[in-house]
Copies of this chain bind each other. A is one copy, B any other.
Amino acid sequence: MRDVHAEAPARGHLRLRSVGVAGIRKPLVVQRADRQVTLAVTFRVMVDLPSGRKGSDLSRNAEILAEVVDSTVTRPVDSLESACSSIARELLVRHAYATEASVEASAEYFLRKGVSEEKRSYEDYLLLAEARAVREPDGAVRLSRAVGAEAVGMTACPCAMETCRAELVREHPDLAGPQFADLPMISHNQRNRTRLVFELADAEEVEVDRVIEAIEAAQSSPTYAILKRGDEGAVVLDAHRHPKFVEDVIRDLLAGVPERFPELPDSAGVRASTVSEESIHKYNVEASHRLTMGELRRPNGG
């Protein structure tokens, strides 16, 4: 059978940076400390392609996914990112012509949380993992990975709160009294989606549940599926006692990282991004930053 992929390209003898499959869904079984979790993962799996070759053997990408991922039903993996590393390494084995392989994965992830023990229920988050394998000139393969998560929580605006306070004090002069100095005032609040991703060497590990905790601690408040009447009030109060711009979410999140993740080396990269789906506008407000653990640990934060 003619191997069309291995023929020379007709035009444009270019090495291509990235060729592969995307949007492929697979169930992955992960063994966590206390339980097995089945993730429904979306993969994007790419290699480069040398200039002399017409096509990349993409059926190998699907085969590797099937072998690595499908086998976890009987032999669970440690984490989504370790599955990504295995896939990236195997891509360079089976695409002998390739020098770089990249794997991106995302999966919904459920954790039981709640305002109190008896009101716990599954909340949904997003896991993010990446792996990259590079074939060095001497044939050695160097791996790196990224691990992170996205959590939906809530922000309340600190600026509108002060504007409303000024207006309400004007209408109700008694509110200017010192006993009301810390009274949380009305403001706009909204859904906020925040991501934290660490860029690591292949052996380094980060527990995603701690990533999610870090994110929720940086929002005005986490949100929950089950909120009885009094709980709703408590969440709303909590959010208004911690009013935050998207800028505050990013800075508070990053400021907490050195203490929360002391084991990570200075070389680790840190990416944070956040989106508030503003209730007073039809559009979103966003902020993002990227730096290294080393920069984050310096007195003036890089």
Contacts and interface: CB of A to CB of B under 8 A. Distances in A.
Interface of A is mostly: mixed
Interface in A226-242: 226-230, 232-237, 239-240
Contact of A287 (B19, B27, B230): B19
Copies assembled:
4
Most buried by B among A12, A122, A279: A279
Interface string A118-131: 00011110000000
Given A9-B248, A22-B286, A191-B278, 10 more contacts: A14-B251, A17-B290, A21-B281, A21-B283, A27-B110, A62-B227, A66-B226, A163-B229, A172-B179, A186-B187
A12 B55 CA distance: 43
A254 interface: yes
Given A14-B301, A223-B279, A288-B18, A70 B189 contact: no
A287 B235 CA distance: 24
Interface of A: 1-5, 9-27, 38, 40, 44, 46, 49, 51, 54-56, 58-59, 62-63, 65-66, 69-70, 108, 110, 112, 121-124, 152, 154, 157-160, 162-164, 166-168, 172, 174-175, 177, 179-180, 183-191, 221, 223-230, 232-237, 239-240, 245-248, 250-255, 275, 277-291, 300-302
A37 to B, nearest CB: 8
13 contacts: A1-B229, A4-B162, A5-B245, A16-B247, A20-B287, A22-B275, A25-B108, A55-B159, A167-B234, A184-B186, A186-B237, A224-B280, A224-B281
